[in-house]
Amino acid sequence: MKDKILKALSKVIDPDFKKDLVSLDMIQNLKIEGKKVSFTVVLTTPACPLKERFRRECTEIIHKDVDPALEIIIEMSSKVTQQKKTSADKLSGVKNIIAVASGKGGVGKSTVAVNLAIALAQHGARVGLIDADINGPNLPIMLGLESSKPDVKVIDGKNIMLPVTKFDIKVMSIGMLIPPNQPLVWRGPMLSNALQQLILETEWGELDYLIIDLPPGTGDIHITLCQQIPLSAALMVTTPQKVSMSDTIRTIEMFKISGMDIPVIGIVENMSYFIPEEYPDHKYFIFGKGAANEISKLYKIPILGNIPLVMGVTTESDNGLPAILNPNMPALREQFLSLAEKVAQQISILNHT
């Protein structure tokens, strides 16, 4: 019967990889005890949006091709994929590094980065978040970590920082290392060195995803990151206005420059529309619409999320409560959980290809 079951399961196709679950080695621990059949489907990420689809299709095909009376028990597990690294580095325990970028400031990039990181963690992934905006570090405020300091330990004679854990994610920011309100009036090389230290002299341990919240625009920080850190991909954040379209395009073009070659896996359109509480069925496109769609068509980059403008997000973020954890914002929670699934899905496809 085992061969019949595996033959039946070979008809279940992963739409992302265009191959069946058996040939992808996603079916493991197959056991048959009388009329009870159990096995594990090993996903490429705990944030896989196809979990229930696989469960349903596996059950249906076994009942159809083998025996409709069988009791099917399916356990979902995951093993996050990663790209093969060309050389050993201090980030060997980090499987995927994702840069969250924007062409201009004020588009909510940090809000997206914070909520994306927490959403991935809530799906079961091991996640780190780093604030790469050395001149304007905002993550400590958004996560309620203004008074937190990373611990330091000595490893092989070197001081290594330990990231602060909050909301099940590991966090590092220059804002946790300097006095509040102290400006960092540094030139490019100093900024680049500070970023490398934050990333490479921190003990991240084993992570499925390390999210890097970049400063807006294209500058020294971006060049350092692309050339010195093994980035897996970049995620662009923009707003619906056409004024942000040209800045977003410049940033995408930067990632395509020879020597960087960082794939952009998707676009997030933030503040996409406004829904008033008294009219929940009405959408108001107060910042216009269409810019993200034009960029998507121009570069063939998918739009992974259209995040609405919700009253109170900024205020709550200033108090250290990200939108995904706010019980009064269920719509935003669903949006960010869905975004996490799509980002993880795109990373898995990228790693596979």
Q: Please name the residue ranges forming H helices in the chain.
A: 2-9, 51-65, 109-122, 139-142, 188-200, 220-228, 245-256, 291-299, 313-318, 330-352
| Confidence at residue 180, expressed as pLDDT on a 0 to 100 scale | 65
**Exposure b/e, 164-200, CB count within 10 A at least 16 = b:** bebbebbbbbbbbeeeeeeeeeeeeeebbebbeebbe
- Report the alpha-carbon distance of residue 308 to residue 310 in Å, rounded: 6
Query: What letter represents residue 270's amino acid?
Result: N
Pairing status of strand 94-101 against strand 207-213? parallel
Mean pLDDT score across all residues of the chain: 87
- Report the alpha-carbon distance of residue 7 to residue 176 in Å, rounded: 55
Name the most confidently modeled range: 185-199, 272-286, 320-334.
Answer: 320-334
Pairing status of strand 19-20 against strand 13-14? antiparallel
Among the listed ranges 8-17, 115-124, 258-267, 312-321, which one has the minimum average pLDDT value?
312-321
Question: Which is more confidently placed, 101 or 278?
Answer: 101
Only one residue has tokens 């399961």, namely 9
Only one residue has tokens 């998918």, namely 302
Assign 233 to helix, strand or coil. strand
Does the pLDDT of residue 20 top 80, yes or no? yes
- Report the alpha-carbon distance of residue 249 to residue 270 in Å, rounded: 16
- Report the alpha-carbon distance of residue 215 to residue 221 in Å, rounded: 8
- Record the pTM: 0.89
Pairing status of strand 151-155 against strand 158-162? antiparallel
* Per-residue pLDDT tens digits for 192-235: 777 788 888 889 999 999 999 988 877 777 887 877 788 899 99
**CB contact set of 174 (below 8 Å; sequence gap of 6+):** 131, 134, 137, 184, 194, 198
Backbone angles phi, psi at 170, to 5 degrees: -90, 130
Closest among 158, 155, 219, 156 to 192, alpha carbons compared:
219
Report yes or no: 129 and 170 within 8 Å, Cβ to Cβ: yes
- Report the alpha-carbon distance of residue 256 to residue 269 in Å, rounded: 21
List the 36-43 sheet strands across, edge first.
27-33, 36-43, 71-78
| Confidence at residue 316, expressed as pLDDT on a 0 to 100 scale | 74
**Domains assigned to the chain:** 2-78 (3.30.300.130), 94-352 (3.40.50.300)
| Confidence at residue 88, expressed as pLDDT on a 0 to 100 scale | 44
Question: Which is more confidently placed, 9 or 218?
Answer: 9
Pairing status of strand 164-166 against strand 94-101? unpaired
Report residue 327 as tokens: 């019980």
Does the pLDDT of residue 190 top 80, yes or no? no
| Confidence at residue 125, expressed as pLDDT on a 0 to 100 scale | 95
* Per-residue pLDDT tens digits for 108-157: 899 999 999 999 999 999 999 999 887 778 898 899 988 888 888 887 77
